[in-house]
Structure 1
Amino acid sequence: MSLPAIVSREEWLSARVQLLAREKELTRQLDALNADRRRLPMVRMDKDYRFDGPQGTVRLRDMFGDSRQLVLQHVMFDPAWEDACPGCTGGLDEVNDGLLRHLAARQTAFVAVSRAPLAKLQNYADRRGWTFPWYSSGGSDFNYDFGVTLDPAVAPIHHNYRDEHELRASSQSHLADGGVHELSGMSCFLRDGDEVFHTYSTFGRGTEQIGGTYGFLDMTALGRQEDWEEPKGRNETVLPPAPFFEDVAPSPTRVSAVEILSKSAPCC
């Protein structure tokens, strides 16, 4: 087993400071990238997709509830399978009630969608102890249109912004072998009244860094909704730069985190 070199505290500190400079540079680059993501144009969702949920048939608009944004996870679950993809399962195990509350506090709903029938989704969710909304897209074009189910007998194949020709020439040439493939990803939608718009999708390793509330919000058009973000004017209400999401009413002995942060210098 190869372990890091053993050095003095001074040598370690020197190396750590050098790495810190690179980390800060990457943080600024990510800030700029996230701002450019929020500046992406959007596409009106004109097709009337229908999904099966615990309360019956729903449309994409219904998945928002009262939220302005929707983060939708494309979960690999073929109708013939009894279990969802192990990789998708690992990620969904981390979608807890706290994350859902924090997203909701920033006007954002979370759902999962798979092609397997609702009964299988509910059975698997019960076995895993999941409580987030999970809908079946079976019987609709949704998975095919978003490139997360590939079946040339149903629709021209495309995935991760590559068509069949580009897939054949890539390291994912197996996706163009003529078979049926289930794939994962994340898509984000924005609601203006009852109109729904597609703002962003990412696939493959693009989903690796998504974790915790900020990771989800950074994919969306409204972002973290904090006062330092660009572009300005995107949100009617902005917050100080801090991961504070609870909407608990303050008690006489509780000082609001927002109040504390408003008097503090920004970090980093």
Structure 2
Amino acid sequence: MSLPAVVSRDEWLVARMELLDQEKELTRRRDALNAERRRLPMVGIETEYMFEGPDGAAGLLDLFEGRRQLIVVHFMFDPAWEDGCSSCSAGADEVSQGLLDHLHARETTLAFVSRAPLEKIERYKAQKGWTFPWYSSHASDFNYDFHVTLDDSVAPVEYNYRTAAEHEHAGTPYFVEGRQPIEMPGTSYFLRDGERVFHTYSNYA
């Protein structure tokens, strides 16, 4: 195993201060980028998406649970699968009640959405001991419209803001290759103004 160089305390301090300058610059750049992200325009949601949750049918507005902001985690769970994606599950394991409480205090709801039918979601959720809200989008085009289920027979394939041809050109065809439909990870963010819902941001793998 290759180890860092061994130096005196004074030499280490010089190197540490140089790195600190770079870290501070990165923080300033990240703050500026975050400000640009907050100024990003938003798109009104006109489609009446319907989901199925433990309390029955729900619209996108219902997923907010009365709060102003909504974070949707697109959890990979194909209707044909018996279990959810293992990588998505590893991330879901990190969602604690404390995290949910902090988000709620900031007028933000975190919800998971998958294409699997609700009975499979509920079984898997109970098996994992998770308590966050999780909805099925099985009967809607939600996953296709937000480009986390890729199926040419339903909608033109696009992932991470690139078409299949653009992925091929960029050297990332693996994102869109395989037997369709293909389930992909992502997170989408929404803002509510009264009864109107807006899509503000999405990020992908």
SS state of the match for residue 70, structure 1? strand
Q: Show the 5 A alignment for 1:29-68.
A: 29-68=29-68
The corresponding residue for 2:116 is 116
Of 84-93 and 39-48, deviating more is 84-93
Q: CA deviation at 1:202?
A: 0.5
Amino acid at match of 2:169: A
Code of the aligned partner of 1:78: D
Please give the secondary structure, in 2, of the residue aligned with 1:190: strand
* 1:194 correspondence with 2:195: yes
State how far apart, in whole Å, the 2-side matches of 1:104 and 1:51 are: 21
Aligned pairs for 1:95-106 within 5 A: 95-106=95-106
The CA distance in 2 between the partners of 1:126 and 1:50, in whole Å, is: 23
How does 1:134-153 map onto structure 2 within 5 Å? Answer: 134-153=134-153
Whole-Å Cα distance in 1 between the matches of residues 78 and 72 of structure 2? 17
Aligned-partner Cα distance in 1 for 2:170–2:118: 34
Q: Which position in structure 2 is the counterpart of 1:13?
A: 13
One-letter amino acid of the counterpart of residue 193, structure 2: D
8 Å Cα contact 1:168-1:176 kept in structure 2 = no
TM-score (norm 2): 0.95
Which residue number in structure 1 is paired with residue 183 of structure 2? 182
The aligned amino acid for 1:44 is G
Which aligned pairs between 1:205-224 and structure 2 lie closer than 5 A?
A: none
Structure 2 counterpart SS, 1:169: helix
Quote the offset at 1:56 in angstroms: 0.4
Residue 7 of structure 1, CA deviation: 2.2
Provide, for residues 20-62 of structure 1, a one-character-per-residue CA deviation record: whole Å limited to 9, x for no partner. Answer: 1111111111111011001011100000000010000101100
What one-letter code is carried by the residue in structure 2 that aligns with 1:8?
Answer: S
Deviations 1:123-146 (A, max 9, x none): 111122111001111121000011
Residue 88 of structure 2 corresponds to: 88
Cα distance in structure 2, aligned partners of 1:130 and 1:85:
15
- Distance in 1, matches of 2:11 and 2:77, equals 50
Instruction: Report the identity percentage.
Output: 57
Larger RCO (CA within 8 A; separation ≥ 6): 2
For residues 88 and 178 of structure 2, the distance between their equivalents in structure 1, rounded to whole angstroms, comes to 23
State whether structure 2 residue 161 is matched by structure 1 residue 165.
no
Cα offset, 1:178, TM superposition: 6.1
Shift of 1:177: 5.3
SS class of match (1:89): helix
**Does structure 1 residue 3 correspond to structure 2 residue 3?**
yes
Deviations 1:109-167 (A, max 9, x none): 10011111111111111122111001111121000011100011222111111123212
Spell out, residue by residue over 1:37-96, the C-alpha distance to the aligned partner (whole angstroms, 9 max, x if none).
Answer: 010111000000000100001011001112100011111111111221121111111111
The structure in which a higher percent of residues are strand is 2
Alignment partners' CA distance in 2, 1:128 and 1:9: 48
Q: Secondary structure at the residue paired with 2:72?
A: strand
| AA at the equivalent of 1:190 | L
Paired AA for residue 162 in structure 2: R
Mapped to 2, the partners of 1:67 and 1:203 lie a distance apart of: 24
Is 1:167–1:176's contact at 8 Å kept on the other side of the alignment?
Answer: no
Q: Is the 8 A contact 1:147 1:159 kept in 2?
A: yes
* Residues in 2 aligned to 1:99 and 1:61: alpha-carbon distance in whole angstroms: 22
Counterpart amino acid of residue 107 in structure 1: E
- State how many pairs are aligned: 204
